[in-house]
Structure 1
Amino acid sequence: MTDVASALRVAVDAFIEFLRVERQLSAHTRENYRRHLGEACRLLHEEGLDDWSRLSAAAVRRLVVRLHRHGQQAPRSIATKMSALRSFADYLVRQGVLPANPARGISTPKQGRPLPKNLDVDQVYQLLNLPSSEEPLVIRDRAIMELFYSSGLRLSELVALNVDDLSRHDRQLRVIGKGNKERVVPVGRLAIEWLDKWLQVRPQLVSGEEPALFVSLQKRRLCSRTIQQRLASWGTRQQLAAHVHPHKLRHSFATHLLESSGDLRAVQELLGHANLGTTQIYTHLDFQHLADVYDQAHPRARRQPDEPSDATPDDA
């Protein structure tokens, strides 16, 4: 390593220490920053950068082009490296090394947004058709899977559920989602039936003092890892070719509901997505459908009663 490259890394080391002390980021996260910024140091040094005070927007653009050249880096990887560089440059601005962040506003290659893999309806029925059993764990697992598919919950949301969050009479569930945001979601008829069965056998595993809706043999709240393992095991036992995990049931819920209703906004609310764009990965709405919605809804798209049906060039 040359002296110049070493000098560039001194500032990176100081930034990593800042992340540890001031932002209290985990060792894993700090190591990722160090790796991404280390590669940036090397490439920028090869481009002639000898001091961070000379970092320019042009240099950052060249870095993106070099990373993208010949497909050497995937778009997601480039975006991650650029995010690290932007954070580092913000730090340099605060330290007075740079007057402004030259990495701000530099675009990266567009990332694809593949549709999440889901189970089709037949596969869901195959998974949920568990053998008849009075075993509490089997009833619990069936209730969990029915609820995942019925209401599209995240794994963390299901783990955090308490008995009091469920209103069986109204078939509703209070959920605390990302950002501690609360939402109320409907619960399907079959999910309610299996939740009722679970609540009948739940006292065999735990006393009334435990608030968690789903509990383990150790008489405490069921953890995420156990739920993942149980779903994967049931997928194998039910002879599904696809690997089964909680998010696959959430994806299946969203996809099947959109296919039936086409109501993107409703699915957004049910999933607890802050942005509609996140929900749009679940569907490929064709342009004609969007055009029809526009024609019916937009005030400037609807023809006024006194407006001629066809405009002529003289109308322009």
Structure 2
Amino acid sequence: MDPHLAAYLEYLRSQRKLAALTLKHYERDLALLLQAKGDLDWSALQEHHLRKAAAQMHARGLNPRSIARTLSAWRGCLRWLAQQGVCAAAPALRAPKAAKNLPKALPVDQTGWLLEQEGKPDDPLRAACDRAMFELLYSSGLRASELCGLDWQPAQGAADAPQYRSAGWIDMDEHMAHVTGKGNKMRAAPFGGKALQALQAWLTLRPQLARQDNSRDAHALFLNQRGKRISVRVLEWRIAQFGARAGLDSHLHPHMLRHSFASHMLQSSGDLRAVQEMLGHASIASTQVYTALDFQHLARVYDAAHPRAKRKTNEQEG
């Protein structure tokens, strides 16, 4: 990689403390910036070169949201390079407007029905693990990466070992999941009785898969059949299979349960700030999207219940 871009990535890692997954996204976006620069020196890079690269991304079918994220990464990098004296002032690149798609959330009754469905009947270990994961996702509104990073309470002295760093842990007594979210910010997410029951059932079976060493995998809360920590990809695959077996019309993914949690909490409490805290959003603007879902829910209730909202039947019209 270009040494200037490598230095910027190191700055993001060491100074900004960005998570490893976020750094991977930056690395991919900066590789595109390097392609846009081509054989030019950094000092010769102009706004029209970057606009041409953005137009090419659009022509390849990249959606506006992805292009906007890439341009944002470019702007941040070029600002930093300008501060280092490598290039001129960063150009003011405007991102294409992205359609505001509302997050997909399940209705309350459908969510409850779904989580009561039987797991994989021929594999009780996996079924118990899946139920605990899915209940916890919905009960606490966790991100997939936060759930997969959870540890069960480590063995005595394990937390002091230099190779052991917990990204999060579960507190069964306090009914809390302590997780590391975006920006390496820790938060405590409460979970309810259904999730507690599912976790207790899983923890009675977990020793059959757990490793007897002091590795990170040995302390993972959720394990695969080989005793390793469940990955985000495996979680996504399992929950999609679960939704398909249950006959769900739409594709089920972990974030759908997070969206459902947020929407249902907002419908019940109306407390936007509390939902923001539970979701771990840095800005309340990220949480406000769920108010649109709440208004949609209220509109449906109104249309179904208010006598002046009901459409006339054919007999009444005649």
* Offset at residue 168 of structure 1 (A): 2.2
**Amino acid of the residue matched to residue 94 of structure 1?**
Q
The residue number in structure 2 matching 1:231 is: 239
Aligned partner of 1:159: which letter? C
Greater displacement, 174-183 / 86-95? 86-95
**Which one of 242, 247, 253 corresponds to residue 255 of structure 2?**
247
Q: Give the AA of the match of 2:85.
A: Q
Q: 1:36 to 1:114 in 2, by over 3 A?
A: farther
Which structure: larger Rg? 1
Structure 2 counterpart of 1:311:
none
The answer as to 2:102 corresponding to 1:94 is no
Partner of 1:175: 179
Distance 2:94 2:265 in 1: 35
Larger displacement relative to structure 2 (187-196 or 75-84): 75-84
Unaligned runs of 5+ in 1: 1-14, 42-50, 287-316
1:119 equivalent to 2:106? Answer: yes
Following TM superposition, by how much is the alpha carbon of 1:90 offset from its aligned partner in structure 2, in angstroms?
4.8
Give the AA of the match of 2:130.
D
Instruction: Report the Cα distance in structure 2 between the residues aligned to 1:274 and 1:53, rounded to whole angstroms.
Output: 37
Task: Tell me if structure 1 keeps the 8 A contact 2:105–2:257.
Answer: yes
Q: Deviations over 1:248-292 (max 9, x none)?
A: 111111111111211110011101111111111222277xxxxxx
d(CA) in 2 for partners of 1:259 and 1:196? 29
Q: Kindly tell me: are residues 96 and 152 of structure 1, through their superposed partners in 2, closer, same or farther at Cα, counting changes over 3 Å?
A: closer
Amino acid at match of 1:223: S
Residue 130 of structure 1 pairs with residue 117 of structure 2: yes
SS at match of 1:130: coil
Residue in 2 aligned with 1:34? 34
Does residue 262 of structure 1 match 2:270?
yes
- The residue identity in structure 1 corresponding to 2:263 is T
Deviations 1:113-172 (A, max 9, x none): 322112222332232122275812101101110000000001111111111232223222
Worse-superposed segment, 75-84 or 119-128: 75-84
One-letter code aligned to 1:33? L
What TM-score does the superposition give when structure 2 sets the normalisation length? 0.67
Q: Report the equivalent of 1:18.
A: 4
| Number of residue pairs matched by the alignment | 253
The answer to whether the 8 A contact 2:128-2:201 is kept is yes
In structure 2, C-alpha distance between the alignment counterparts of 1:64 and 1:283, rounded to whole Å? 35
User: Is 1:146 paired with 2:132?
Assistant: no
**CA displacement at 1:232 relative to structure 2:** 0.8
The match for 1:203 is 207
Distance 2:146 2:45 in 1: 47
> TM-score normalised to the size of structure 1?
0.67
Per-residue CA deviations over 1:85-121 (Å, capped at 9, x if unaligned) read 56336525633653xx2525x6555544322112222
Contact 1:37–1:81 (8 Å) recurs in 2: no
Counterparts of 1:207 and 1:54 in 2: how far apart (Å)?
53
Amino acid at match of 1:87: C
Aligned Cα root-mean-square deviation (Å): 3.5
Q: Unpaired runs of 5+ in structure 2?
A: 11-22, 154-168, 296-318
CA contact (8 A) 1:113 1:281 kept: no
* Corresponding residue for residue 103 of structure 1: 91
Taking a change above 3 Å as real, the CA distance of residues 88 and 199 of structure 1, as seen in their structure-2 partners, is: same
Distance 1:135 1:202 in 2: 11
Structure 2 CA distance for aligned equivalents of residues 174 and 82 of structure 1? 31
Cα deviation, residue 81, structure 1: 3.4
Maintained 8 Å contact 1:118/1:252: yes
